[in-house]
Structures are given as structure tokens and as C-alpha cells.
Amino acid sequence: MMELEALQAVWPQLRALGASLIAISPQLGQYGRAVRRRAKLEFDVLTDVHLRVAEAFGLAFTLPPDLKQLYAAFGNTLDKFHDEPDFRLPMPARYVVGQDGRIRAADVNPDYTSRPEPEDTVAVVRQLQTPGSKATRSKATS
């Protein structure tokens, strides 16, 4: 939720640069819509049913049994919210896609607590607006 709220804070800057913003979540549609309303998001939150998009990008993983038990102990029911009985999740990722459809920047980190700063994404988009700008760095942490 904090990530979405942080992206909402920079959304006006991104929109002013001519960019679009979407979030993709494994939550079922009704839960994603509730998050969008609660956080007052002005951009779309799409549902990745059964993590098909995450799989295509190599981002889906299954929680190990000890973490699955820990999640369950805290009442976190991924099977209900994601329709994923195997307790699968996507790694957090952020992509900037150029108007040509090519990924111009990527930030992927299996540590869900480590997220790129939204201002860094604004800077990447701004750089792409510069004439003669090349593709921006990719950062993948493992």
C-alpha cells in the first residue's frame, strides 16, 4: 500500500511528462479495487490472475513452507486474496517502457522491503524525454 501511495504522489509529474502509470497486483479484482479506492489512486491497478504476467517476466515464486506457516499465523490468506493455494507471490518490480515498446529501465528485487524511489522513476522518464537520450540503466538485484 505504501508503494502505491508513493507512486500516487509522483503521478502528477509522470502525467505531465506524458507518461502512463499502471500497477499490476496478484490480488483478485475486488481487492485491487478496494485498495485503489482506499489509497485514492488515480491510476489503474490491474489484476494478474494466477501470476501469469509475473511468470512471463520470471518474477513468480512460491513461499517456502516456514514462511507460508508464518503468513498463516498472522492471518495472511494469500489463497483467498490471490486465489493462489500454493502461496505464490511476484517479486516487486518496476519497469519504464518507452514509446517504442522497449523496456528502458527495470528495477527488480526479491527483497520486498527494498523498492526504488518514485522520484528515480520520474527522473528516468524525464531522461527519456531528452532528445538523443539512450536506454536507461537496468538494475536487477538477486
Please state the domain extents for the chain: 2-140
In this prediction the pTM is: 0.79
Q: What's the pLDDT tens digit per position in 71-116?
A: 888 877 777 788 877 888 899 999 999 888 899 999 998 887 888 8
- Residue that the C-alpha cell 508464518 belongs to: 70
Q: Please answer whether residues 115 and 86 qualify as being in contact, where contact means their C-beta atoms are separated by less than 8 angstroms.
A: no
Query: How would you classify residue 89: left for phi > 0, otherwise alpha for psi between -120 and 50, otherwise beta?
Result: beta
What CATH number was assigned to the domain covering residues 2-140?
3.40.30.10
pLDDT single digits (tens) 49-75: 899 999 999 999 988 888 888 888 887
Summarize pLDDT for 39-48 with one digit per residue, the tens.
999 998 899 9
CB 112 within 8 A of CB 93: no
